[in-house]
A and B are shown apart, each in its own frame.
Chain A
Amino acid sequence: MLKRLITSREALLVGAIGLLLILISTRFSGFAAPSNLANVFNDTSPLILLAIGQMIVILTKCIDLSVAANLALTGMVVSMVNVAMPGLPIIFIVAIAIGLGALLGMFNGILVWKLQIPPIVVTLGTMTIFRGIIFLLSDGKWVNSHEMSPAFKAFPRAEILGLPVLSWIAIFAVIVFGIVMTRTTLGRAFYAAGGNPHAATYAGINVGKTQFWAFTISGALAGLTGYLWVSRFAVAYVDIASGFELDVVAACVIGGVSIMGGIGTVAGALLGALFLGIIKNALPVVDISPFWQLAISGGAIIIAVILNAQANRKKGRIILKQAEQAS
């Protein structure tokens, strides 16, 4: 089991992250200190949560571009609920966030499943719709720190065993989805539906329904992250996490998730998110200009894609030979 979890691709990423940390340490010795690494992990936790959801969606040959908008809409809704009902226990806030996020995800899923609209079109549309709804709900106004209840803001920062709740939630999600993806029939269906939709159909798996569940999970995780985001930054407005969906997709790609579907692991999504998180946290402290920071992040993504393409190419050749024999 452990052997399967850490395939060569994940091991390569661990190596790359180690190398990256050593490189950064030569310029800024404090970076690799445990307390700083814990901060970096906490900072990266929203990205990890979303990357897990996105990984599942991409596994089924789809893509979810609406995650950041979903996050912002859910964040705005729970903030407004909190303003309206400051006494509502946080557990309900969390439940609303997950439930609303899942509903928004289901909306994507239904359009993909029942109407067979290409996922990129569906989520490009809902991305704009979700942002538009935030504007309608809030009239474009911000929900600011002083309007939020102290409990609302304290939850993700509360520390358990020295780590903030936000980090624990990310860890919890990694474990839960690690199990879902490897040990459940649903997890297996995600791999089968994306790896070979035809074969999955013949095996009695409803591919469209499987994609629907992938969008639902992605939406639920985005909704949860929405609450964590607005409470951590203590502000909600139309444009929060704008463009974050691209970071999420990038984390998946760096983590070895095949954009063609069927290949990817929770560990890969986690490591891809961490890799991106470390770069984003380290580049400012080692005095690299913001322009170069963007270029370096982009470069990392392209290198990851090239490595993945190399890994997949050999297999393609074998298939072709058999195709030739068949003729």
Chain B
Amino acid sequence: MLQHPGITTTDVDTTKAVAVLALDKVTKTFPGVKALSEVSLSLYPGKVTALIGENGAGKSTVVKILTGIYQPDGGQILVDDKPTPFPVPQAAATHGVTAIHQETVLFDELSVAENIFLGHAPRNKFGLIDLAAMTEKARALLSGIGADIDPATKLKDLGIASKHLVAIGRALSIDARVVIMDEPTAALSHKEIEELHELVESLKAQGKAILFISHKFDEIFRIADNFTVFRDGQLIGDGAIAEVTEAALVKMMVGRDVSQIFPQRTPNVADTVLSVAGYSHPTEFEDISFELRKGEILGFYGLVGAGRSEFMQALFGITRTSAGAAEIDGAPVQIKSPADAVDNGIVYVPEDRGKQGAILDLPIFQNVSLPSLGRISSKGFLKLAEEFALARSYAERLDLRAASLDTHVGNLSGGNQQKVVIAKWLATQPKVIILDEPTKGVDIGSKAAVHEFMAELAAEGLAVIMVSSEIPEVLGMSDRVIVMREGRIVAELADDDLKPETLVRHAAGI
């Protein structure tokens, strides 16, 4: 097993095959973030290479570089050992590189055949699309990969697994040499996963090079030939999967000093403030029960798609549950809308700042006061002085850096936008605060500030729920951690059980 950051490894497998597609010491920097630092990666014909890493390790950036969406700042892309830049996505396609994404990027309103051949449809002698030929070719392609799908069906009428098959059909139709699969099984059922694995085998047999991104160790060991592990944008190790153990992979993936960057706190846990019993949803989560105490930080860990955010949204009244009850301070509460949740002292700071957090076209003070308007108005008229005072006090508390409270939130940096969102919720004087991926996409400096602040909130007696997919953050901040997998709670960990390996094992079900 190799463990040497930044060093290129060639001929990973004992064969002397030339890599179809490789990255050679590629670096990619975004303002404030070094996403990739001299990473190398080689894909061989007929081999499946698993790319492993935590969220934020740089996997998505690699996919975007390999498909020509991002340009590397340093290093090069090698096709058949020859340096080949991919200045545009079409260049990647021309060289036979195709990606199948987590969420399929196809066209719902077009037929299966049209989706497969969009952009390179067979033409008849008048230069028009030859529908009959296209349908026939699509049928042949699909049956070739064992998919029983009528090419005339509209894509929107297919399930997610069938959509993946169509995406794969499309990949084959452009004569792909390299197929990148970005967490293809994240949203699939057990049976569909089996079918996908068989398909990967058949692609292998056809000599395609496959880059397989997955969090699930069982499938990595089942279908991958080689592995490459990234952590924090660096190459940590690579080699043949047969020569490595699960434990070693987990260690490479998460192994770093966890404690140093997080605030030291002595949890002062008091009475139960929130208790949830049997929360269920027909499709997204089942039987979620836990208790949350004052002054506590409760971490929710799980893989993407484990149902954590979905449950939190239900707890906050955005979506309805099919069963379950909640109590605040021992009294039953009915939460049917976000307004109910806010009234009961529960607030939710969503993951997607841009989409669900702040209103970018409104000034800071109006964003901060938005959920508290009822308190700072009388008969529908706002008391502007109180509104400003409210905004000012929370902006100061959070050390919000802006020219004035009149500044539009859209003009602030990511970290300061996050502070606006947090200020907005604190201003409602909540009892329970749910932070969903609080530091996702936030630069290092602001990250530490958010962590400090979370510790302060808990110290002041607030109960904090933190949903996070970053293991160091979960371990560094939480007093207790609930691990979810496939919509269920699979473990509740505290004290000595809080180890990276344990978290990953429970989350991945190994």
Contact = CB atoms under 8 A, between A and B. Distances in A.
Given A188-B373, A192-B370, A327-B60, A263 B361 contact: yes
A185 B373 contact: yes
Contacts of A17: none
Interface in B352-381: 352-363, 366, 369-371, 373-374, 377, 380-381
Given A204-B371, A205-B370, A315 B360 contact: yes
A198 B381 contact: no
B338 A203 contact: yes
Interface residues of B, number: 48
A185 B338 contact: no
Given A202-B338, A202-B350, A324 B360 contact: no
B311 to A, nearest CB: 16
A183 B382 contact: yes
A184 to B, nearest CB: 5
B362 A326 contact: no
B408 to A, nearest CB: 8
A48 B429 CA distance: 42
Contact of A196 (B31, B61, B64, B358): B358
A156 interface: no
A184 B353 CA distance: 26
A188 B338 contact: no
B414 to A, nearest CB: 5
A196 B409 CA distance: 12
Given A262-B359, A327-B64, A4 B406 contact: yes
Contact of B441 (A1, A195, A326): A326
A201 B318 contact: yes
Given A184-B380, A324-B30, A315 B342 contact: no
A192 B350 CA distance: 16
14 contacts: A183-B382, A185-B373, A185-B377, A185-B380, A196-B359, A199-B355, A201-B356, A203-B371, A204-B338, A206-B337, A262-B361, A315-B410, A325-B414, A326-B441
B440 interface: yes
Interface of B: 30-33, 35, 60-61, 64, 316, 318, 337-339, 341-342, 348, 350, 352-363, 366, 369-371, 373-374, 377, 380-382, 384, 406, 410-411, 414, 424, 440-441, 443
A195 B341 CA distance: 22
Nearest to B441: A326
Contact of B360 (A184, A206, A319, A321): A319
Contacts of B354: 319, 322-323
Given A203-B424, A319-B354, A191 B361 contact: yes
A188 B424 CA distance: 15
A294 to B, nearest CB: 33
B141 to A, nearest CB: 31
A325 B348 contact: no
B33 A325 contact: yes
A325 B443 contact: yes
A206 B380 CA distance: 15
A188 B382 contact: yes
Contacts of B358: 196, 199
A325 B70 CA distance: 12
A318 interface: yes
Contacts of B424: 203
Contact of A195 (B348, B359, B414, B443): B359
Contacts of B371: 202-204
A200 interface: yes
Contacts of A321: 30-31
A191 B374 contact: no
A186 interface: yes
Contacts of B348: 202
A54 to B, nearest CB: 18
Contacts of B443: 325
B267 to A, nearest CB: 28
B33 to A, nearest CB: 5
B381 to A, nearest CB: 6
B319 to A, nearest CB: 11
A203 B406 CA distance: 20
A206 B357 CA distance: 16
Contacts of B352: 198
A76 B31 CA distance: 62
A100 to B, nearest CB: 24
A263 B411 CA distance: 15
A321 B30 CA distance: 8
A314 B410 CA distance: 10
Contacts of A206: 337, 339
> What are the nearest 3 A-B pairs in CB distance?
A326-B441, A204-B339, A195-B359
Given A204-B339, A319-B354, A323-B354, 18 more contacts: A185-B377, A185-B381, A186-B380, A188-B369, A189-B373, A191-B366, A202-B338, A202-B356, A203-B342, A203-B424, A204-B342, A204-B371, A206-B339, A263-B361, A315-B410, A319-B360, A323-B441, A326-B440
